[in-house]
Structure 1
Amino acid sequence: MKKLSINDIARQLNVAKSTVSFILNGKAREKRISEELSIKVLAFAEQMGYRPSQLAKSLSTGKTQMICLMVEKISDHFFSQIAYHLEALAYKNGYKIIYCSTENDTEKARELISVFRARQVDGYIITPPANIDAEIRGLLRDNLPVVLFDRYLPDTLTDYVGLDNYNGTREAVEHLIIAGAKRVALVTISSDQTQMLERLAGYEAALALHKLKPLVLKASFEDDMEATINLIVQFLRNNADVDAILFATNYLALSGIKAVNELELNIPADISVIAFDDHEVFNILNPPISAIAQPIAEIATQLFHMLLDRLQNKNTLNDVSKVIVKPDLVLRRSTKQ
């Protein structure tokens, strides 16, 4: 059966196509179209099961009701959970989410932004790779709302929802030290991303407070799990006095736990472990792994409503909003109490 169009409605009711379009798009009063005619057109459209195409609607309103969620890796547990909550929030508010991953590749991010610009996406929620400032500024210059999360761009003023990485890390390291650890290592990635620098600074601050020396291993983001495991195994062999490790991401923690098992070290008797970013698997390992947990539902809610305020013009683009969410230290049996 042929889908009913605005042309069909106009022809059937002997009404101008533009008049039908104004009525169906809620502009009857603005265009001084009579209430009687409006009721007639709307009733006929409903009776015939008329549904406007998304393209036609976007052309008439200038809005696609689409939001781009651009993250480092959508398969990552943290980002996939953020996407899950954002999708539910968007749907309840009449929006749809398009997901994509940059793989921390700046050129790929540039290409993706260009694609979504062409598709006239209404707004963007982005975990930015390095050197993407010009593209973000370009979106803002064209009045396209952007909210950054997980990490920000120091030289670009944008809305941002982030975590208190510094104090979350500092609190976790202090717990390890108070529980008796004397040689606390940090396994992180070699990166200038703001969230990673904040976690490093929190680790160093806790050690300085207790007059302990830092010991940091920086892995490469591009390395696969096997390479990371081998790196951590060698690191622990070279530093046999390490009695506690904080892993700066959950995927580093998964590699690290395999490395600890390969060395036949017992958690927490030989070495205590805390991971930054909780993961559902941590609770079923033996022993369960302590973690600095990000309140994912809260972060997603802050992200969506910050963007929605922009989309609904409740805030001007000159008034930048910044929300910092406090993490939770979830203690399980991988640390001495």
Structure 2
Amino acid sequence: MPVLKEPQPPPPWILPSLFAAFNVVLLLVFSALFFAFPCRWLAQNGEWVFPIVTGPLFVLTFFSLVSLNFSDPGILHRGSNEQGPMTVHVVWVNHRAFRLQWCQKCCFHRPPRTYHCPLCNICVEDFDHHCMWVNNCIGHRNFRFFMLLVLSLCLYSGAVLVTCLIFLLRTTQQLLYIDKVVAIVVAVAAAGFLVPLSLLLLIQALSVSAAERSCEGKCQYLQGYNPFDHGCTSNWYLTICAPLGPRYMAKAVWLQRVVEPDWAPVQNLHFPTCPSALSRPVLPGPGSCHQPPPLALHKPGKAPRGSGEAEAVQEFHTGLMLPLPQEVPR
């Protein structure tokens, strides 16, 4: 008797990818219905302003959606075996110390604001959140595409809603049954997307102005200042207009490279004893009157301004590498 093989479940990336493709198809279907019925009728009656406005908005929305699907969020590729979890790395950002966390899956110490996405199984620089609508992480390299998508969707949904309402008002005395039904369906869908998208755009705008991230707790910097906040105008420039910088395609993150064999005494820094506080900023203790000696991990002016964490690393005042005792468990 032949042995029947059990059916294997589909790969975990199949359903999220199909959902992202479904969203693209949904945008195309509703746009086709809109341009084929209410927008066409208005254009035939001499009101060309509606297709002139909604046409470029559709192109911008479709371009930003497809670009965000295939964009690089700022992946930090697998690290090297030169450094291990037993080594402590401390970097300074705007007079605040951060202890770099070891990623067990990517095998390197993550820079500040870099997190490992469990859905994509990657570490993303300046991680904000994982967007299930496009099945991609939102990070340093594609955050501006995400903002462009949300803004264009809001404008496009509002323009479609206004166009459908004007079409229904102009055809009140006419028997256009199919056109009216399509206009009502498209208007309801546009209104349903417009409300949550407007709230999302407002929340993201406030987060950019305050240099916050969606994955971070709102009370993380409540008892102190946010070291990544450069002011509202500079925050928007660094997020939207600043150069992205080079991609991290090397074997390891350059933060792990030992440039100078300088060792600093442990008493200069006081690390938190609670495991949950390891990812939070660490401030020097009251007994330390000066910062630890620099490791020269970065020379200011070499990286382009505004390149996410690379820009933040430009402002590191010092770095530490403290060897842990060998008997300390992982």
Relative contact order, higher structure (CA 8 A, sep 6+): 2
Normalised to the residue count of structure 1, the TM-score between the two structures is 0.22
Normalised to the residue count of structure 2, the TM-score between the two structures is 0.23
Structure richer in strand, relative to its length: 1
